Structure 1
Amino acid sequence: MAVVNVLVQRRPEQVWDVLADGSSYAEWVVGTREIRAVDDGWPALGTRIHYTVGLGPVTLNGSTTVRHVEPGRQLGLEADAQPIGSARIAIDLLDWGDDTVVVLDEHPLRGPGYRLHNTLSDAVLLLRGRPMVHNLARLVERRHPREGASGAGGR
């Protein structure tokens, strides 16, 4: 299990605004090459984002399904990229004064990724998760400028 967090210098509703924009995921989710389609109503329960992920010349088509949603507070996703398997991704938004703490918890759920899960794979997830939450923070702060503020906090 890999848990990372970041302080975003914006309100939770501003962070949610970016999470609710399925077309923005390629801008902050590490490894995403392109968003191919976003279901109408994203991020309603059961809706999906369809994308291409890649590392170097290797690419896979995948989809992420909303499994749990509390608008403005929590988003539970299942990211599926076969033949690797799927992962559970929980994103929690914690109100932190004028800011938001984003907690991202990701771990293998099904398939070979789950069966081969170990400390090394957790380290890889952490290496992916840290830049991902920082990318999200930068995107939120860019989309929602704050008078007299520059850059994301906690870096």
Structure 2
Amino acid sequence: MSTHRRTVRASADRVWAVLSDGWLYPLFVVGASRMRDVDAGWPAAGSRLHHSVGVWPALIDDTTSVVACDPPTVLRLRARAWPTGEADVTFRLEPRGEDTEVVIEEDAAVGLARMIPKPVRDPLLTWRNSETLRRLALLAERRAAPL
């Protein structure tokens, strides 16, 4: 499991507002290119995001499902990107005064990506998730800024 942390200069509720708006995922999740649909119950357990991954014209349509949801602190996902496979992803929000420490944990669950040795896989996930958390922070901090 690859784990990465970032302090976000926004409340857990502000960060959760970004996570719970499925239409925003391509803005912060590295690799997500576009949203095709978001289930009405998102982010309730069992609901799905219908997204595309990759770069046009080589886009792959797939889904991400909610495994567990405990607002505003935990969101566990199963992200699909076949043919590479599926990943288990967990976002944890830990309030720190007016700020929030966001922890993302990710690892390949099934498929070709699972065959990549962990010492090779982890640095790639660390880079990807570092950028994902940077983008998430920018969105949440902007939402927290006065108009």
TMscore range, shorter length:
over 0.9
CA shift in 2, pair 1:117/1:48, >3 Å: farther
Question: 5+ residue gaps in structure 2?
Answer: none
Structure 2 CA distance, aligned partners of 1:53 and 1:111? 16
Moved over 3 A (4+): 55-58
Structure 2 CA distance, aligned partners of 1:6 and 1:57? 33
CA shift in 2, pair 1:15/1:35, >3 Å: same
Contact 2:86 2:110 in 1 (8 A): yes
Matched, 1:98 2:98: yes
Matches for 1:107-122 after TM superposition, within 5 Å: 107-122=107-122
Shift of 1:15: 0.6
**Number of the residue aligned with 2:61:** 61
Contact 1:108 1:117 in 2 (8 A): no
TM-score, normalised relative to structure 1: 0.89
Shift of 1:47: 0.3
Structure 1 CA distance, aligned partners of 2:50 and 2:144? 26
Question: 5+ residue gaps in structure 1?
Answer: 148-155
Shift of 1:2: 1.5
Shift of 1:146: 5.2
Partner SS for 2:60: strand
CA shift in 2, pair 1:7/1:146, >3 Å: farther
Contact 2:76 2:89 in 1 (8 A): yes
**Number of the residue aligned with 1:39:** 39
Calculate the aligned-residue CA RMSD, in Å.
1.5
What is the count of residue pairs matched by the alignment?
147
Matched, 1:126 2:126: yes
Percent of residue pairs bearing the same amino acid type: 35
TM-score, normalised relative to structure 2: 0.94
